[in-house]
Amino acid sequence: MDRIEAMRVYTRVYERRSFKLASLDLNIPASTVTEVIKAMEKRLGVVLLERTTRRVSPTIDGETFYHRCISIINDVEEAEHGFSTSTPQGLLRVDTHGTIARHFLLPQIHTDVVNQNH
């Protein structure tokens, strides 16, 4: 699992305050969630979540890490959505010689407008 996915797992555990509920939300085994969090804590060298048999609560480091994870995840999603298949909109200004406009641009614009209306 890459670091971004691990961050998604961590943020879900943080938000749900439960390994089991996070695993159900993410549709992965609870043991995988546990291993991801353990590996993350080992890599970072800090305890992110205090665990008891009844509760999961973030440490101070866990709080800080959660907010950074959310920011990173949002940045990644925004960057990926920047390449979506949205159609360009708005005014386009073209400065060209009249002959080129008459012979190449205007006929094409007329054809595109006619095709859109049918």
Place of tokens 């971004």: 4
d(CA 84, CA 86): 6
List, for residues 66-99, the tens digit of each pLDDT value. 999 999 999 998 888 877 666 777 787 878 888 8
Contact 66, 58 (CB under 8 A): yes
C-alpha torsion angle, residues 29, 35, 38, 43 (rounded to 10): -130
- Domains of the chain with bracketed CATH: 3-81 (1.10.10.10)
**Is the pTM here over 0.75, yes or no?**
no
CA atoms within 13 A on the CB side of 59: 10
